[in-house]
């Protein structure tokens, strides 16, 4: 059994690490605040104080960190994983970061005789806890096959999309569609309510036809229930759209409506509602004047 290092044990990383431990893996752990993972250490996880120790003690290193600069620093920075890893080490980054950064890190890894997979997930903390995450993977076929047994303990729908960066690009595409579809539902239900028609009945009628989306089903219901407890936080979805916009610029892809929805999410964050579920976008619409 390969030895696994896990860096970044927050809301997503911690339940994922726990699922790997349940499956029999011995994990070497590192996260910003040791106190938050004493339960994992008590259950047999080995705490490591530095990235160097993680790199030296493991065959596969998983990272689950907030944003591109964090992953870049941990993987390619001074005293980081690549500086200390033995050749043949596989780094699996499961964070949602820029595909541009992911492709650079894959090249950095290759230059040190190591492998790198970008393997972002969707499904949120519930998916992480229940091991039902969707995992979108970019990198070589050999690296994918090597990581697959781990992925199967973490998620349900696991797809090898293509070469390095393909996982992050698929995740970015996912965030484009989900954010825009939330806005679509918010505009339609607000329109119905303002026009004096029960939005509950409108949503129900539309679920059976061409307007059906997961966002209409789940986030539409949240909007009707005024249930804005996350779920997936507005500030994080906005951060993912920041990634989309910078990658879109890099690759010359126009994303006019994603750009517009990012502006609206920014307005929500800047008005102090970044910690609400992303379905709370409907609140901004309710405050706006008619076009």
Q: Does residue 174 interact with a copy of itself by CB under 8 A?
A: yes
Q: Is 282 in the site for a copy of itself (CB under 8 A)?
A: no
In whole angstroms, the minimum distance from the beta carbon of 254 to a copy of itself comes to: 4
- Find the shortest distance in angstroms from Cβ 279 to a copy of itself: 12
Asked if residues 115 and 125 have their Cβ atoms less than 8 Å apart, the reply is: no
- 190 token code pair: 């607000």
User: Should residue 248 be labelled a site residue for a copy of itself when binding is judged by CB under 8 A?
Assistant: yes
**Binding status of residue 224 toward a copy of itself by CB under 8 A:** no
Stated as kind and residue range, the H or E segment containing 73 is helix 68-76
Contact flag: residue 123 with a copy of itself (CB under 8 A): yes
Among 34, 259, 270, 271, binds a copy of itself (CB under 8 A): 259
How many other CB atoms are found less than 10 A from the CB of residue 196?
6
When binding is defined by CB under 8 A, the residue of 27, 106, 131, 244 that contacts a copy of itself is: 244
Among 150, 247, 276, 283, binds a copy of itself (CB under 8 A): 247
| Between 33 and 291, CB nearer to a copy of itself | 291
Q: Which residue's entry shows tokens 């040791």?
A: 34
101 binds a copy of itself (CB under 8 A): no
Residue 202 binds a copy of itself, judged by CB under 8 A: yes
233-251: string of b/e by CB count within 10 Å (b at 16+)?
bbbbbbbbbbbbbbbbeee
Q: What's the rounded Cα separation, in Å, for the pair 75 and 53?
A: 13
Cβ distance to a copy of itself smaller for residue 187 or 270: 187
Tell whether residue 211 is a contact of a copy of itself (CB under 8 A). Answer: yes
CA distances from 121 to 12, 118, 172, 246, 281 (A): 10, 10, 11, 20, 23
User: Which residues are tagged catalytic?
Assistant: 171
């Amino acid at each position: 059994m390969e030895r696994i290092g896990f860096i970044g044990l927050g809301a997503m990383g911690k339940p994922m690490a726990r699922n790997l431990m349940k499956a029999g893996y011995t994990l070497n752990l590192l996260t910003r605040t040791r106190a938050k993972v004493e339960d994992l250490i008590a259950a047999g996880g080995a705490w490591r104080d530095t990235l160097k120790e993680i790199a030296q003690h493991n065959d596969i290193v998983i990272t689950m960190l907030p944003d591109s600069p964090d992953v870049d620093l941990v993987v390619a920075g001074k005293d980081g994983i690549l500086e200390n890893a033995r050749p043949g080490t596989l780094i699996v980054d499961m964070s949602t970061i820029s595909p541009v950064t992911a492709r650079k890190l894959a090249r950095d890894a290759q230059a040190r005789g190591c492998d790198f997979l970008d393997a972002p997930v969707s499904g949120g903390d519930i998916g992480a806890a229940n091991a039902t995450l969707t995992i979108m993977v970019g990198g070589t076929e050999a690296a994918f096959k090597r990581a697959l047994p781990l992925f199967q303990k973490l998620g349900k729908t696991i797809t090898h999309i293509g070469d390095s960066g393909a996982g992050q690009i698929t995740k970015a595409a996912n965030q484009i569609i989900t954010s825009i579809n939330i806005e679509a539902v918010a505009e339609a239900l607000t329109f119905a309510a303002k026009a004096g028609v029960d939005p509950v009945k409108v949503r129900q009628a539309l679920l059976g036809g061409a307007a059906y989306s997961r966002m209409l089903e789940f986030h539409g219901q949240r909007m009707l229930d005024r249930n804005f407890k996350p779920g997936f936080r507005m500030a994080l979805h906005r951060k993912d759209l920041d990634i989309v916009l910078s990658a879109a610029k890099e690759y010359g892809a126009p994303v006019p409506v994603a750009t517009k929805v990012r502006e609206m999410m920014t307005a929500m964050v800047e008005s102090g509602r970044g910690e609400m579920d992303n379905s709370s976008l409907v609140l901004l619409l309710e405050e706006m004047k008619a076009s």
